[in-house]
């Protein structure tokens, strides 16, 4: 078996030219291009017809957005955890509710007589009255009495929890946002 390729006697390849001297046949290329165009057009028309058929026979109804449903009776909510429709607004509401709770008076348990007072007022009362101390008579024998130091706040930096970025920077005294409310 010979490894040589068969060429016509009239067209001998010329290796010195560095490129192929024969031209591509235009007829088969045009036929392929036309066939490809026909196949693409038939496919697009078929897809369009199929999609219109499905839209006519099975309408989908309103789009499903269970996290943003205004009326909960319209659609059943998926199981938890759910995505938040407006997370920044929900965090702002949460932080406002927390801020209102620590800066207002209210009942914790009215039947037991437990109330909630603002944190700033509680700190003032604690500084004025001091912490409760065990009487000397209850101290174990042989131990020296320890007098607690008054409470101090060291390095009152911007420590406000997850809502700190909503409140703004702390003032130099560490008593809330620097900007006046």
- If one counts every other C-beta atom within 10 angstroms of the C-beta of residue 91, the result is 15
Higher pLDDT, 165 or 84: 84
pLDDT tier, 81 (very low <50, low <70, confident <90, very high otherwise): confident
pLDDT of the residue at 41: 98
pTM over 0.95: no
In 58-161, which ranges are continuous DSSP H helix? Answer: 87-102, 119-129
| Interatomic CA distance for residues 176 and 158, integer angstroms | 9
Per the CB < 8 A criterion, the answer to whether 103 and 120 are in contact is yes
How many Å is the Cα radius of gyration of the chain?
41
In the chain, which ranges are continuous DSSP H helix? Answer: 26-57, 87-102, 119-129, 164-167
The 3-state DSSP class for residue 115 equals: strand
> Is residue 53 pLDDT above 90, yes or no?
yes
Dig out the tokens for 50 from the structure: 């199929």
Per the CB < 8 A criterion, the answer to whether 119 and 112 are in contact is no
| Interatomic CA distance for residues 108 and 116, integer angstroms | 6
Average pLDDT over residues 77-105: 85
With vertex at residue 152, the alpha carbon angle to CA 147 and CA 158, rounded to the nearest 5 degrees, is 155
| Longest Cα separation, the chain | 127
pLDDT tens readout for residues 129-154: 888 877 766 666 666 666 666 655 56
Listed residue (166, 170, 174, 165) closest to 96, CA to CA: 166
pLDDT tier, 156 (very low <50, low <70, confident <90, very high otherwise): low
pLDDT of the residue at 176: 46
The 3-state DSSP class for residue 96 equals: helix
pLDDT of the residue at 170: 53
Query: 12-26, 85-99, 160-174: lowest mean pLDDT where?
Result: 160-174
């Amino acid at each position: 078996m010979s490894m040589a390729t068969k060429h016509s006697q009239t067209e001998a390849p010329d290796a010195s030219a560095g490129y192929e001297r024969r031209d591509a046949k235009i007829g088969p290329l045009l036929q392929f291009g036309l066939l490809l165009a026909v196949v693409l057009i038939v496919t697009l028309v078929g897809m369009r017809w199929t999609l219109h058929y499905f839209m006519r026979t099975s309408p989908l109804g309103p789009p499903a957005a269970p996290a943003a449903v205004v009326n909960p009776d319209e659609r059943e909510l998926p199981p938890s955890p759910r995505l938040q429709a407006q997370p920044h607004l929900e965090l702002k509401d949460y932080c406002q509710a927390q801020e209102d709770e620590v800066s207002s008076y209210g009942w914790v348990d009215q039947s037991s007589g437990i109330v909630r007072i603002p944190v700033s007022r509680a700190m003032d009362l604690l500084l004025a009255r001091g912490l409760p101390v065990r009487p000397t008579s209850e101290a174990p024998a042989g131990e020296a009495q320890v007098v607690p130091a008054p409470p101090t706040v060291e390095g009152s930096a911007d420590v406000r929890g997850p809502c700190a970025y909503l409140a703004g920077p702390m003032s130099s005294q560490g008593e809330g946002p620097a900007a006046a409310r």
